[in-house]
Structure formats: C-alpha cells, structure tokens
Amino acid sequence: LFLRKYNPCGNELWSFEMNSDLPLSLTHLNIDSNQNILLSGRYDEFNQNPRAYLIKVNTFGTVLFSKIYETSSAANSNIYSVSVTSEGDYLMYGLYDFTLVSPDNRKMFVSKIDTNGVVQWLRLYDFTSFGFGPITTTKDKGAIVKNSNILFKIDSVGEIKWAKKFNRLGDVSNSIETDSGYVFFGYTIGAIDRSNAYLVKPDGSIGWETNTFLFGSDFYPQAGIQRKNGNLLYTGSYQFGINKSIFVELDPKNGAIQRFEELNTTGFFSIDLIEDSKGNILFTGADDRWIVSNLLCGKLNDTLSTVSCLNSNLTHPGLPFSLIELEDMTIGSSLNTDFTDNILNITATTL
C-alpha cells in the first residue's frame, strides 16, 4: 500500500509505502475535517480471512493510528465503504462475519468509529447480500447506504428510517447531498448497458432521472463533487473500448447535462477529483498506455476548457430504461458488541 501527496502544481511533497505481515488491499480514501487522510480496506484478503482496517495519516504523512476490526472468532468481515461524519467520526459499512460457502451469513453492518479508531457502536441489518455500494453521511447526522438494488437511510445511531428496493440502481459512485435530496450517478449492466444519474428525495422517492446521455452508453463514473457554482461534476472513463478521461457536469435541480468533455489522449482514465479554492479541477487516475500503468494527475481550469469539445460520433445507444421503485422494505436491525478494534502493526517507508 502506498500514499503520495502532491502540491497544486503536481510536484510530489512526500511519498511512502506501508507494509504489514499480511497483504493490505485499499477500498477507500477519505479526508476528514482536519485534513487527515483515512485509508480503509481489507487486511489478510488473500488467505480468505479478510478483516476491515483503518489507517489514519496526517497531512505531513505521519501515521496517527492503524487498526484492524474483528469479531471474537476473528471471522471474515468485508469492508465496502467509509464515510466521515460532520463530527469527524467515521462510519464503516460492509459484510459482517460472512462465509464463502453455504450456509452463509452475509449480514450487512454499519459501525461508528471515533477519531481515535475506537468502535462506538455496530448495528447489524436483517438482510444478506454480496452486493456492494457506498455509504455517504448526510447533513442530519445520518447516512444513506446502497446495497445491490436497495437504498436505505439510517439515523445517527444506525436505525433505519426507510428502505426501498428498485429494479436497477447500477454500480454507483458516492451520493452527493443537494437541497432536494441525494444524487447518484452509476452504470448498469443489463439488456441495455447504460449510465444513469438520479435524484433520491429525502423520503426515498425518485425526483428525476437522466439516462439519455448523448456521449454513449458506456461512460463509467468513478467520483463526483458539488462545485462552488452548485453544479455536480463527475469523472470517469469508458467502460468498454479505449480508455479516455471524461468529465460530466449536471444541473442538480433536474439532471440536465451542462457540460461534457473528454481528454484528447486515449489510455488515460480518471478515478477521483476535487475543486480548489480558485475553481480549478484536480484529478487523479492512471496512464494505461504502457504495459505497466503509471499514476496520472492533472489540473483543469474552472471551465474545463483544456479538454476537447463534444465528439460528433457519439450517439444515443437505444431506448432508455426507467428507474422504478419496486417496494418499501421493512428491515430489522440490532446492536452488536462483538466487534473490536485492535492494533495493526505496519511499517511506513519513504519512497
């Protein structure tokens, strides 16, 4: 596992790798309100005994804590996503105590972790799945969680406020909370492979949906932000064919496309982005033109004018599908205390 920090001009400030006695796989990277970096993922994945881990690093690259989270039986736990609360704590979401063969126990869990990495509570939910998705904290101190074709909203102690099942939600990036609700942008593989963005209102109903993107059906969004101008900006690449970094800007009120741009160079794909204080867009990804992929970092101005114009060869891929709510779901939950934090011994070596 490695971590590098760059200044706004793309110059490396520091870089180091972290090693433990067993492999670490990275699932998520978060920045908290104090600009600390939170790395999360799976520990000991390849020995079929994965457990969740969190590593907290300050802005100078110093490791503040490193922890693994496990049950008393050291059973498997699989982490899907971590999100930072408004108080600076962390919500961890994943599979609790699962097995790989039947009969299995694949209950979903959400756990609250404090700023020192200590478990505050863990809640199990009475449905099982290997379907994954993000957890995103909300302004009401709760969170919205996606699992397969289910969305559920929890309050500040993890109790479910509503849960709804849909016909297809797709593989989505983290939701973005707007004045009207929560916007998701995803990619669905099915009878028609398609990108689709949609607004979920605070009560769980669908506000709007945009799935007739003129730039092709195989745009795969990786990350999104709400810009200072209020619009939503997403980045990703084409799911099939030649990779290109793509940027799509949407109106949060109705999902209308405000801008679509792609980098001229094929073989680049971007996976994350931020907006700086001047409105410039900084993004990261990979340069996949060579046998071994290289790290890609880039900077666009506030109008994205450094990338190409719309491609006239991109067409609508067929009839759109509609996102349909299938049912309201009643899902029980229970608090669970068999989930503890333990020290994860790692060494950090400067690269």
Which pTM does this prediction carry? Answer: 0.81
Q: From CA 204, how far away is CA 201, in angstroms rounded?
A: 5
| pLDDT above 90 coverage of the chain, percent | 21
Q: From CA 215, how far away is CA 218, in angstroms rounded?
A: 9
Q: What is the DSSP string of 293-341?
A: -EEEEEEE-TT-TTSB---TT----SPPP---EEEE----EEE----EE
Question: How is residue 42 annotated by DSSP?
Answer: E
Neighbours of 191 (CB within 10 A): 10
Q: From CA 260, how far away is CA 250, in angstroms rounded?
A: 9
Rounded to 5°, angle at Cα 188 from 184 and 189 = 165
Q: Are 137 and 92 in contact (CB under 8 A)?
A: no
Q: Is the pLDDT of residue 329 over 60?
A: yes
Q: From CA 30, how far away is CA 40, in angstroms rounded?
A: 8
Residue 202: per-residue pLDDT: 94
Residue 250: per-residue pLDDT: 92
Residues 6+ apart with CB under 8 A from 254: 208
Q: What are phi and psi of 182, to 5 degrees?
A: -120, 125
Q: Is the pLDDT of residue 311 over 60?
A: no
Structure-block tokens of residue 11: 């110059």
Choose among 82, 180, 178: nearest CA to 137. Answer: 82
Q: Is the pLDDT of residue 99 over 70?
A: no
Q: 48: pLDDT confidence band, cut at 50, 70 and 90? A: low
Pick from 21-25, 86-90, 153-157, 190-194: least confident: 190-194
Q: Is the pLDDT of residue 191 over 80?
A: no
Most confident stretch, 32-46, 76-90, 190-204, 221-235: 221-235
Q: 325: pLDDT confidence band, cut at 50, 70 and 90? A: very low
* Inter-CA distances, 96 with 91, 106, 133, 135, 331, Å: 14, 6, 15, 15, 16
Q: What are phi and psi of 47, to 5 degrees?
A: -95, 15
Q: Is the pLDDT of residue 314 over 60?
A: no
CA torsion sign for 293, 295, 300, 306 is: negative
Q: 317: pLDDT confidence band, cut at 50, 70 and 90? A: very low
Residue 298: per-residue pLDDT: 79
Residue 130: per-residue pLDDT: 59
Question: How is residue 201 annotated by DSSP?
Answer: P
Q: Are 26 and 57 in contact (CB under 8 A)?
A: no
Q: Is the pLDDT of residue 177 over 90?
A: yes
Mean pLDDT for the chain overall: 78
Residue 74: per-residue pLDDT: 55
Q: Is the pLDDT of residue 112 over 70?
A: yes
Q: From CA 108, how far away is CA 267, in angstroms rounded?
A: 37
Pick from 34-38, 62-66, 133-137, 213-217: least confident: 213-217
Backbone φ/ψ region at 109: left (φ over 0), alpha (ψ -120 to 50), beta: beta
Q: From CA 252, how far away is CA 133, in angstroms rounded?
A: 21
> Which has more confidence, 100 or 244?
244
Q: Is the pLDDT of residue 221 over 70?
A: yes
Q: From CA 327, how far away is CA 182, in angstroms rounded?
A: 19
Q: 330: pLDDT confidence band, cut at 50, 70 and 90? A: low
> Which has more confidence, 105 or 30?
30
Cis ω for the linkage preceding 103 (within 30 of 0): yes
Q: From CA 201, how far away is CA 313, in angstroms rounded?
A: 35
Structure-block tokens of residue 140: 């009401």
State CA 76 to chain mean position distance.
22
Choose among 179, 239, 182: nearest CA to 205. Answer: 182
Q: Is the pLDDT of residue 54 over 80?
A: yes
Structure-block tokens of residue 306: 């450094």
Residue 220: per-residue pLDDT: 81
Q: Is the pLDDT of residue 217 over 60?
A: no
